[in-house]
Amino acid sequence: MKLSEIKNELRRLSKIAFKLPNGELVPNHFHVTEVGKITKHFIDCGGTERNETVVNFQLWNANDYDHRLHPEKLLNIIELSEKTLNIADLEIEVEYQAETIGKFGLDFDGTNFVLTTKQTDCLAKDQCGIPAEKPKLQFSDIQTGNSCAPGSGCC
């Protein structure tokens, strides 16, 4: 989800809820403790220089049950961050505390913002000798027209 998309959704919502990948909701007394611009400048294992920039939201489960973050407040925080940090319309990455800080993508299901799982990957598979993944087939996808049927006498 891009920054412009969350802003559009916040303008029409009366409350904010974030859902974890396992379907549980982040407790509704969470705080957004950071909105920032994260730039990652790195070299992949194939020697290619790369730059990635995302907008980062950090969610924190506070024991502050008396204050709830409302859509207009988060929208104000985002707009201030855009001006102060010169943030473009970038993809959003969300940090949330699990066993350690977890990084998630962000989506919207029509009601809740959904934290989506992210995976590591090799960006230079062609230079590392990593074989391409073979397609996985289901037995139900295999054609049975020319195969032997039990009791047909062909085996």
Question: 49-61 and 92-97 as β-strands: parallel, antiparallel, unpaired?
Answer: parallel
Helix (H, G, I), strand (E, B) or coil at 50: strand
pTM of the model as a whole: 0.78
pLDDT value for 11? 97
How wide is the angle at C-alpha 101 spanned by C-alphas 56 and 133, nearest 5°?
A: 85
pLDDT digits (tens, 9 = 90+) for 44-58: 988 999 999 999 999
Average pLDDT, integer, range 69-94: 96
How wide is the angle at C-alpha 80 spanned by C-alphas 25 and 34, nearest 5°?
A: 40
Query: Is the Cα torsion angle 42, 44, 45, 48 positive or negative in sign?
Result: negative
Helices 71-85 and 3-12 meet at what angle, rounded to 10?
Answer: 150
8 A C-beta contact, residue 57 and residue 92: yes
